[in-house]
Amino acid sequence: MPGEETSDPYRVWLSEVMLQQTTVAAVTPRFERFLARWPTVEALAAAADEDVLSEWAGLGYYARARNLIACAREVAGRGGFPDTEEELRKLPGIGGYTAAAIAAIAFGRRAVVIDTNVERVVARLHGIDVPIAEAKDRIRELADALTPQVGAGDFAQAMMDLGATICRPRAPECTKCPLSPDCKAFASGEPERFPAPKRKLVRPTKHGIAQWIERDGCIWLIRRPAKGMLGGMAALPGPEWTADTANEGPALARVTHVFTHFRLELDIVAASEPEREGWWQALSQISDAGLPTLYRRAIDAVLESRTKLAA
């Protein structure tokens, strides 16, 4: 926390990994649950993969969970977290931002910590009017120049909080901002114009089939391969997703899910017998299965459709 000399590197690492591409509101209760279940990196390292993946369900970007497990085991094996950016970046799943955050916040090192909030603050402060992706090197130089030699962790957290609460993407509260006297975006009278919005990319569409195999109030679930999309997560069985329209009979329901790089249209179709290893999960206890959002939505869509037909 700001004001402390250092913080627990396990908590800093866990929170930073969880917050990648996920909101604080979504992360906060899950972070507390993780800490209650695995209070130390050693405890997490000793956990079964399936338990960690199940606990992660719903947070998305599941490669983070697999890297979390690998990193915990490596850190536990070496007796603790290294305290420099260079060594931290050698750990599974730790990139430049996370390494800098741990080094600065947990170990008091002088490091330049740049997340999306900090990028926006720096871009507005200096009037950068191109998309962030086109100005990352310049923003890093400017952030480096701002970062103090002592207290870099407190400074980083203050900048992140400033971007999250005051220098927001929409409706920034410039009159409350301590940087407004020197801010070029504020001086322009149109602070929201900085930085320029990222250029829109057209996501391709993929198609998939999920098989609905039900018996005695239970649904057959499998675990996806460890590598690849939703790796290691619980799922409905089915073939790999492709660019071609899939067809295995009339669909019980269809869900559309947007991933980072593509849009998926998933048809849920009835099937008779399991064809691969898995387990029967009671539909009354489906919330305990650790399903990622895609497959939980698919099951909910079938159950909702069934309820409407029965009405």
Q: Is 16 a catalytic residue?
A: yes
Q: Please give the average per-residue pLDDT across 167-192, as a whole number.
A: 97
pLDDT for 246: 64
Q: What is the pLDDT of residues 248-271, one digit of tens each?
A: 678 999 999 999 889 999 999 999
**169 and 286 inside one domain:** no
Q: Are residues 98 and 161 in the same domain?
A: yes
DSSP 8-state secondary structure symbol assigned to residue 102? I
- The pair phi, psi for residue 194, each rounded to 5°, is -115, 140
| 36 & 168 share domain | yes
- Taking all residues of the chain, what is their mean pLDDT, rounded to a whole number? 93
Closest CA to 11 of 25, 33, 27, 31: 31
Tell me which H or E stretch contains 241.
none
Encoded amino acid at 135, one letter: A
Burial status of residue 85 (CB atoms within 10 A of its CB: 0-12, 13-18, 19 or more): buried
Domain that residue 135 falls in: 9-193
Q: How confident is the model at residue 7 (pLDDT cuts 50, 70, 90)?
A: confident
CA dihedral 65, 70, 71, 72 (to 10 degrees): 90
Could you identify the residue written with the tokens 């998309």?
131
Mean pLDDT on 16-45: 94
Instruction: Give the pTM.
Output: 0.78
The DSSP code for 254 is E
- Confirm if 120 and 145 have CB atoms less than 8 A apart: no
Residue 96 predicted with pLDDT over 50 = yes
pLDDT at 3 over 50: no
Q: Are residues 153 and 231 in the same domain?
A: no
- Catalytic site residue from 4, 16, 86, 173: 16
Q: Same structural domain for residues 33 and 93?
A: yes
Q: Which residue has the higher pLDDT, 23 or 157?
A: 157
CATH number of the domain within which 268 lies: 3.90.79.10
Is residue 3 in some structural domain? no
The amino acid at residue 276 is R
Residue 148 in any domain: the answer is yes
The predicted-structure confidence for 100-151, as pLDDT tens digits, reads as follows 999 999 999 999 999 999 999 999 999 999 999 999 999 999 999 999 999 9
Looking at 193, 214, 240, which one is the last position of a domain? 193
- Is 228 part of any domain? yes
Element housing 162 (H / E)? helix 152-165
Is 198 contained in some domain? no
- 29 and 87, same structural domain? yes
- 160 shares a domain with 124: yes
245: in domain: yes
Query: Which CATH number characterizes residue 94's domain?
Result: 1.10.340.30
